[in-house]
């Protein structure tokens, strides 16, 4: 959780800098304002974003209302429930904002999901299902997210709610939760494809796509990306069948079997980026997979090996330009951890998981505005760092300074 103090060694933001951040938040709200039919909703969305960025520990409707000076949460509940606005239109504005502020030719699109623990059976999409957040099967909702990482920062582009089949097979239950009749069951990779398609069609500069085994194990998603000539590095299970050439000819083999044929000189010790305990250093190797000739492109199996335990291996299917270096593939693989950081900071700093809404519309509205708040915070940090001389304004420092201003304004 973010503490109300700046990290040692960080540059202290100036008053003018913090005032500028507040003005830019107003500018962001003006950008999305035309999607809200009434002026009251436009004013309320600014207050809600301010509440999500406020010092309150839990960003539920009561605490956010109190933080922005409302005596009841009814205005916020109206914004998330009955007000006239389309969260998908605001999502498109979010994507455009992130592209403008953080877009880079080396950018990476990152796929992942997270669980939102819930009680009862009424919250849309809630079911007994595996939650990576809890590390076990729990009563929860699952959100699938597309994040974006570039040299300028990392934040979210898109989101989708995963509806378990027990929901889509019960249309009356769906209607009670406000799920549109046209919404049918979709796997997590299918939801990921929708988000990627929206981002790529909108021109988000995305050199690579990466994700864990949930997405790498879906052959249809991989083939769709290949069809768009969109490079990817996707994790797969050790048993994933892949076409390769061996002593017994060309056939499908498990990733483990293919990796076993790698010679020791194929391995290189490389860092996949900085982690909480320093550089993430592993041994890495790759070997070409067999696919029909596609000039200028190549398919590989990329393998990561632990330095501590050489029997601990991880596998990735790669599609990319034939000239791609091993160092570049390791960089992309390491960027996958960015979405875990994004989910953690969005839950800790802008209330991604603090919502109390139960409906389809309410979920999409809260999540979209929380992602917008996270993007604003990321851009604010990047802008502050660009203006800082001799040091870095951390995300913690920029948020703390903004919170301090919020407290002062409320007195």
Contact 28, 376 (CB under 8 A): yes
- Has residue 193 been placed in a domain? yes
pLDDT tens for 161-183 read 999 999 999 999 999 999 999 99
Q: Cβ of 63: how many Cβ atoms within 10 Å? A: 17
Task: Give the total number of structural domains in the chain.
Answer: 2
Among 307, 335, 363, residue at a domain's last position: 335
Average pLDDT, the chain: 89
User: 152-166: string of b/e by CB count within 10 Å (b at 16+)?
Assistant: bbbbbbbbbbbbeee
Among 296, 317, 335, residue at a domain's last position: 335
201 and 289 assigned to the same domain: no
pLDDT tens for 230-284 read 999 999 999 999 999 888 889 999 999 999 999 999 999 999 988 777 899 999 9
- Has residue 289 been placed in a domain? yes
154 and 185 assigned to the same domain: yes
Cα separation, 89 vs 201, whole angstroms: 15
Cα separation, 87 vs 81, whole angstroms: 11
125 and 36 assigned to the same domain: yes
- Strand pairing category for 153-162 and 249-254: unpaired
- Has residue 4 been placed in a domain? no
- Has residue 272 been placed in a domain? yes
Least confident of 134-138, 140-144, 230-234, 345-349: 134-138
Higher model confidence: residue 387 or residue 133? 133
22 and 99 assigned to the same domain: yes
In which domain, by residue range, is 226 found? 213-335
Contact 325, 143 (CB under 8 A): no
Among 284, 305, 335, residue at a domain's last position: 335
pLDDT of residue 269: 97
């Amino acid at each position: 959780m973010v503490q109300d103090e700046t990290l040692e060694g960080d540059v202290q933001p100036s008053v003018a800098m913090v005032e500028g951040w507040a003005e830019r938040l107003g500018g962001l709200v003006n950008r999305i304002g035309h999607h809200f039919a009434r002026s009251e909703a436009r004013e309320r969305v600014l207050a809600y974003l301010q509440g999500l960025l406020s010092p309150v520990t839990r960003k539920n409707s009561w605490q956010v209302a109190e933080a922005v000076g409302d005596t009841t949460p009814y205005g916020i509940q109206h914004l998330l429930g009955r007000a006239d606005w389309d969260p998908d239109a605001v999502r498109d504005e979010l994507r455009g904002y992130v592209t403008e502020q953080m877009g880079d030719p080396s950018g990476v699109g990152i796929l992942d999901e997270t669980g939102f623990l819930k009680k009862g059976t009424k919250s849309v999409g809630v079911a007994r299902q595996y939650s990576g957040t809890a590390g076990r099967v729990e009563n929860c909702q699952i959100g699938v997210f597309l994040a974006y990482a570039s040299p300028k920062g990392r934040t979210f582009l898109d989101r989708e709610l995963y509806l378990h089949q027990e929901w889509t097979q019960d249309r009356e239950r769906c209607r009670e939760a406000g799920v549109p009749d046209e919404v049918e069951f979709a796997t997590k990779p299918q939801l990921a494809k929708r988000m990627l398609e929206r981002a790529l069609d909108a021109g988000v500069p995305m050199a690579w796509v990466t994700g864990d085994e949930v997405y790498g194990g879906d052959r249809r998603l991989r083939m769709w990306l290949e069809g768009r000539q969109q490079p990817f590095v996707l994790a797969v299970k050790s048993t994933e069948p892949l076409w390769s050439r061996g002593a017994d000819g060309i056939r499908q083999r498990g990733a483990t079997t293919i990796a076993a044929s790698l010679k020791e000189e194929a391995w290189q010790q490389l860092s996949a980026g900085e982690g909480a305990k320093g550089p993430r250093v592993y041994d890495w190797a790759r070997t070409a997979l067999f696919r029909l000739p596609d000039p200028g492109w190549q398919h590989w199996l990329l393998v990561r090996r632990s330095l501590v335990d050489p029997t601990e291996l991880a596998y990735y299917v790669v599609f990319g330009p034939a000239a791609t270096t091993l160092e570049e593939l390791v960089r992309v693989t390491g960027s996958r951890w960015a979405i875990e950081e994004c989910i953690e900071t969005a839950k800790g700093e802008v209330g991604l998981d603090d919502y109390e809404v139960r409906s389809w519309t309410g979920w999409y509205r809260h999540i979209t505005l929380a992602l917008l708040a996270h993007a604003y915070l990321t851009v604010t940090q990047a802008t502050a760092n660009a203006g800082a001389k001799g040091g870095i304004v951390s995300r913690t420092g920029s948020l703390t300074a903004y919170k301090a201003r919020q407290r002062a304004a409320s007195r």
